Amino acid sequence: QKPRKKHRKNRKIIPYRRPRNDIGKLIFGVIFLYLLINIFIYMGHEKIQFYEVSEGGIVNDRPYTGLILREEQVYNADNSGYINYYLREGKRASVGSRVYSLDETGRLDSLLKEHGVENQTLSDENLADLKKQLSSFVTSRSDEDFGAIYDARYTLEAAVMEYSSFSALDQLDQIARESGIVFEQVVSPQSGVVSYGFDSYENLKPEEVETASFDRSAYTKTFHKSGDLIESGTPAYKIATSENWSVVFPLTEEDRALYGDKSSLEVEFKDHSIETTASFSIFTGKDGSVFGKLDFNKYMAQFITDRFVNFEIRQDQAKGLKIPVSAVTEKNFYQIPRDFVTQGGDSTDSGVNKEIYDANGTTAVFTPIEIGFDDEEFYYIAVQEDGPLKAGDYIVKPDSQGRFQVGSTRALKGVFNINKGYTVFKEIEILDSNSEYYTIKKGASYGLSVYDHIVLDASLVTEGQILYQ
């Protein structure tokens, strides 16, 4: 018997496919998209920066341009000729000091040029001083004060005249003697500081000052130097005969309020690196305008080439807390009389007895309030839609039948404190200010303290906003 063949069943092999994890990819994609959107939102929003409150004051010095008045005596040339000076601008002359020589022929000037007097080389020290003067002018120059360029020019010319010409003019007598030249020598009849610039303001008195006196566009100044040809009867030099001098300047109504009760002021001349105290007075000028007058008894020689001068009057600094102007905003508060505020029951919370109306009549119910600020007359409660008090509510004075209707408001300045991670309005009392900062009162009951963090730009947030630092 033949063996029976096993029947083999054909089996089809199907490859195993792992299930796709589409849910995981979807979740990952959503998270990624969420993060991407938040990054774009974060990049597109202005960053909320904070400022740490510091103790101190602000510098609030007030700048002015004044007109210098001195006791000046102008001396004219008796003859025409070429002038050569012996004393430099700003040098003090004594009685009998040689000030200048006058050569009618011009031969002396030619001899000086032949001997190389006119073309002497400046020393390194002299050049360094000239560069220092020029740098000082460039640093303090203002586009609005164009006339100061001419003053700087005269000052530099005077310095160059001092360094180049005067050292060589020691040879003048010897050169003239050897050449047989006769020339006129002029000596000073009085002591004082010599100057060679003329501007017609030499005899100006305070009572003659007017607003037009400060018009720099109409101001002119002539300046003589060695070798110039001058005519008989024209100014040759002048002498400031006293150390007493004054600066006059226009006063605004605000200035009069600030300085009206002052007899002295602290003054700084930045261009000359001078700080000093001056006697102060107020007077009425020729045209009825009001001017201030600062009187000095030293430093006159340092300003001998100046007629107009820039200066600052130093202000007393208010002591307190210093905050940026950008951090300040305003908020409305209800004004509640102080004697209507009490403490309820066993609680130490401040509140008012608010009238509540129902079917049983009127009842005075203690209502807690959050005081934002106070003064001698009122407590100030923030105006809020969901606040404990609304305009028109009546409150009752403790132990009395006196009633007060809530409604009167006042806008108070303040900042957003962020110590707790969200913005809280804090009222401030401003003591002083400039264009960048306020000085505010320190130690206010409901105010700021040193090292508090506040929002730098109050316009970017609202009250109660949560901030993520």
Model pLDDT, residue 136: 65
pLDDT for the residue 344: 73
**Helical spans, DSSP H, in 15-106:** 22-44
Burial of 90 (0-12, 13-18, 19+ CB in 10 A): buried
3-state DSSP call for residue 166?
A: helix
Question: Which residues are CB-neighbours of 165 under 8 A, at least 6 positions away?
Answer: 84, 85, 117, 118, 120, 225, 226, 227
| The pLDDT value given to residue 121 | 61
The per-residue pLDDT for 349 is 82
* The pLDDT value given to residue 279: 96
Place of tokens 């009395």: 400
Residue type, 387: G
Residues 455/341, Cβ–Cβ less than 8 Å? no
Round to whole Å and give the CA distance between 218 and 98: 34
Report the pLDDT value the prediction gives residue 73, as an integer from 0 to 100: 95
pLDDT tens for each residue of 348-366: 788 898 999 887 788 888 8
Distance CA(348)–CA(370), nearest Å, equals 12
Query: Is residue 12's pLDDT more than 70?
Result: no
Beta-strand (E) ranges in 81-191? 81-85, 92-93, 98-103, 184-187
Q: How far apart are alpha carbons 22 and 26 in whole angstroms?
A: 6
The per-residue pLDDT for 53 is 92
- 69: pLDDT strictly greater than 60: yes
In the predicted model, is pLDDT for residue 167 greater than 80? no
Query: Stretch 137-152: mean pLDDT, rounded?
Result: 61
Distance, C-alpha 118 to centroid of its chain:
45
The closest of 76, 109, 88 to 230, measured between CA atoms, is: 76
Weakest mean pLDDT among 16-30, 320-334, 395-409? 16-30
3-state SS, residue 456: coil
> The tokens 């110039």 sit on which residue?
228
- Does 67 score more than 90 pLDDT? yes
Which pLDDT belongs to residue 329?
94
- State the pLDDT confidence band at 346, using cuts at 50, 70 and 90: low
Which range among 293-307, 345-359, 373-387, 431-445 has the greatest average pLDDT? 293-307
pLDDT at position 303? 92
Q: What confidence score (pLDDT) does residue 126 get?
A: 67
- What's the confidence (pLDDT) of residue 294? 97
**pLDDT at 40 exceeding the cut of 80:** no
Mean pLDDT within 150-176: 61
Specify the higher pLDDT residue, 419 or 167. Answer: 419
Ramachandran assignment for 155, one of left (phi > 0), alpha (psi -120 to 50 degrees), beta (any other)? alpha
Residue 110 above 70 pLDDT?
Answer: no
| Residue range 215-254, pLDDT digits in tens | 988 888 888 877 788 999 999 999 999 999 999 999 999 8
Percent of the chain with pLDDT strictly greater than 70: 78
Quote the pLDDT of residue 269: 93
The first and second tokens of residue 200, run together, are 């017609």
User: Residue 9 pLDDT more than 70?
Assistant: no
| Rounded-to-integer distance, Cα 38 and Cα 466, Å | 17
The per-residue pLDDT for 35 is 84
Cβ neighbours of residue 112 under 8 Å, at least 6 residues apart? 84, 118, 168, 172, 175, 227
**Candidate from 38-47, 69-78, 103-112, 263-272 with smallest mean pLDDT:** 38-47
State the pLDDT at residue 299.
93
Residue 154 has pLDDT above 80, yes or no: no
Give the model confidence (pLDDT) of 252-311 as tens digits: 998 998 898 999 999 999 888 899 999 999 999 999 999 999 999 999 999 998 999 999
pLDDT for 90: 84
**For residue 72, how many C-alpha atoms fall within 13 Å in the half-sphere facing its CB?**
29
Residue 2 has pLDDT above 60, yes or no: no
Model confidence at 444, pLDDT cuts 50, 70, 90, reads confident
d(CA 460, CA 415): 12
What mean pLDDT is predicted for residues 117-144?
64
Task: Pick the more confident residue, 312 or 115.
Answer: 312
